[in-house]
Amino acid sequence: MLVLLTDTSEIARRTCEVLGTSGAIRQINLKQAPPLLTDSVEGWIFAADLDQEGTVTAGIRHLRERALEQPLIVVTARRDVKTSARASALGATRVHEISNAAGLLRDPIFANRFMAMPSPFSNDPVLMAAIAGTVAIVTETMTGRATTSASEDLNTAIDAAIASLQTKGVAAWLKALEAVHSPTYRHVLQVLAFAVSFGTLTKLPPPLLRKLAAASLLHDIGKAKLPVEILNRADRTAPGDDAILQTHVKLGFEMLRAYGERDFDILDAVLHHHEYMDGSGYPHRMKGAQIRPLTRMLTIANHYANLIEQRPSRPVRTKQDAYKRLQAMGHKLDLGLVATFKGVVR
Amino acid sequence: MRIERAVKRRLCSLPATVYSDGLRTDCAILDISERGCQLEGDVFGLGNEVEIHFQDAKLCVPGTVAWKTYMRVGIHFKATIGLSEK
Ligand SMILES: [Fe+2]
């Protein structure tokens, strides 16, 4: 468990927004008396107005509970001498400015959270090992580690994922994914599950299936370069967000090329997973046969994952409802493949 | 195969050429009925709309892709065709 110390300030509000509501973070108001912490604490996050009288004193009172090995992350409004001094008075391990939300989310304190996943939803060690392996890859790619389809870690993770998806099925995988807190990470792992089942159903030869799996793990890698505020705002998009969001395909393609990715199918899938068969997609408005089949499969898996994902702004969708919406996209998608995808949904 | 009398789906192994989005693919007809057919070959890249040329019957039928796997595709014809044994 992580402890998040807050007050009613703007910085506390924005930190909560960035971190999201999650069962793994316990929020405690600084103004209240320190509660008894029964769960084991892995780290502390301090997000309160350091300019205000008494904030540091209240913080120190709460942080008496902190053990030496537990890191303390202090979130500040700006980085100046006074703020730094107060952060070190609290005993900060690392300081993040709230304006750099991406930096905050990339702090190892969160990366470790995704790695050391509790497994309340599955007691199947093979499945959990497969998921933990892919979560580790996604965490690393999204926090900037150079990864290509030739990376050994990636291939080990993919092999385990394919094996467990083919033997345990998609449903068990999706259930276990509920333990992953970040919606961006969870999305990637859902797309992987749908794509692998889809590829199995379409009888893809194993080398192509592995390419499809690698492409699904890497498809949104470009989002690592986008501001976290925009990513987390998927539901209530502000004007201008769309244009920024759309850059993730080119960013991802360029990142992978810079990492030395050689596989054309994977580069193509990352660059073109938002193209539509009728030419209405982005970035190149490609049409029909110009879009490679593996890319079309990734597009379908990606759309289905978006359709089935729970959002606060709408009621929970059933598998069938989401599939109907996929069908309703008509000639935007490869109709033959959408028909075959029905087997994944069943 | 001559196009005369409508019959139920039947198995065959005849060549056909499929055009889709300007792409040409040679494949084999696995089975065919008056309303559609199943083709085998390098069909994975076909788009939604296709035109099938049955060389032996000198016939060209427009259709849509109904389902698809890596090597096989199911096609719905846009018009029914008649089938007969020679
Ligand atoms: Fe995307």
**Which residue ranges in chain A fall short of pLDDT 70?**
20-23, 101-102, 106, 111-123, 179, 181, 232-238
Residue B80 — very low, low, confident or very high, per pLDDT cuts 50/70/90? Answer: confident
For chain A, say whether B36 makes contact (Cβ under 8 Å): no
Q: What pLDDT, on the 0 to 100 scale, is given for residue A224?
A: 82
pTM over 0.90: no
Alpha helices in A63-124 (DSSP H): 81-90, 101-105, 108-115
Residue A204: its chain B contacts at CB < 8 A? 70
Q: What pLDDT, on the 0 to 100 scale, is given for residue B37?
A: 92
Each domain of chain A, given as residue ranges in start order, spans: 2-110, 125-345
ipTM of the shown complex: 0.84
Residue A335 tokens read as 């109709």
Q: What pLDDT, on the 0 to 100 scale, is given for residue A78?
A: 85
Contacts of range A319-326, beta carbons closer than 8 Å, 24 or more positions apart: A319/A345, A320/A345, A326/A300
Q: Are A12 and A23 in contact (CB under 8 A)?
A: no
Residue B47: its chain A contacts at CB < 8 A? 277, 288-289, 334
Residue A226: CB partners within 8 Å, gap ≥ 6? A102, A244, A245, A247, A248, A251
Cα distance between residue A191 and residue A173, in whole Å: 11
Residue B12 tokens read as 């065959």
Q: What pLDDT, on the 0 to 100 scale, is given for residue B2?
A: 43
Q: What pLDDT, on the 0 to 100 scale, is given for residue B6?
A: 39
Same CATH fold assignment for domains A2-110 and A125-345: no
Q: What pLDDT, on the 0 to 100 scale, is given for residue B46?
A: 95
Which comes out higher in pLDDT, residue B5 or A217? A217
Task: Tell me what percent of the residues of chain B surpass a pLDDT of 70.
Answer: 84
Residue A72 tokens read as 């303390």
pLDDT exceeds 50 at position B1: no
pLDDT exceeds 60 at position B8: no
For chain A, say whether B22 makes contact (Cβ under 8 Å): yes
Each domain of chain B, given as residue ranges in start order, spans: 10-77
CATH 1.25.40.10, domain B10-77, yes or no? no
Q: Are A138 and A55 in contact (CB under 8 A)?
A: no
Q: Do A336 and B66 touch (CB under 8 A)?
A: yes
CATH 1.10.3210.10, domain A125-345, yes or no? yes
The CATH code for residues A2-110 is 3.40.50.2300
| Mutate: best of A295, A329, A337, A341, partner B, most B CBs <10 A | A337
